[in-house]
Amino acid sequence: MTIHSLPWLDWTPGDRVVVRYRASDGVHDALGELLETAPEHVRIRARRGDVLVKAETMITGKLVSKRSQIAE
């Protein structure tokens, strides 16, 4: 049996991440602040609210740069 690493366990709450995952209505991306990581899931604060992405639905994910602030 091969045990794959779980890269999201190396992420830190507060990091900005994007995770692509499968749902019953297709493939979605959750982009935002990482709130929680666990072997079974990640929780991300996205623009439209908090998103819980279960590990078995994840396709890919990565750290992304902080959102730029537009000068006023």
32-48 residue pLDDT tens: 999 999 999 999 999 99
Mean pLDDT of the chain: 90
Residue in the structure block whose two tokens are 């493939």: 27
* Residue 69: per-residue pLDDT: 64
62: phi then psi, degrees, rounded to nearest 5: -160, 165
How far is residue 9 CA from its own chain's centroid? 11
Task: Tell me the average pLDDT across 63-71.
Answer: 75
59: phi then psi, degrees, rounded to nearest 5: -100, -50
Q: What is the pTM of this model?
A: 0.83
Nearest-angstrom CA–CA distance, 46 and 62: 15
* Residue 6: per-residue pLDDT: 87
* Residue 66: per-residue pLDDT: 82
| Beta bridge mates, 66 | none
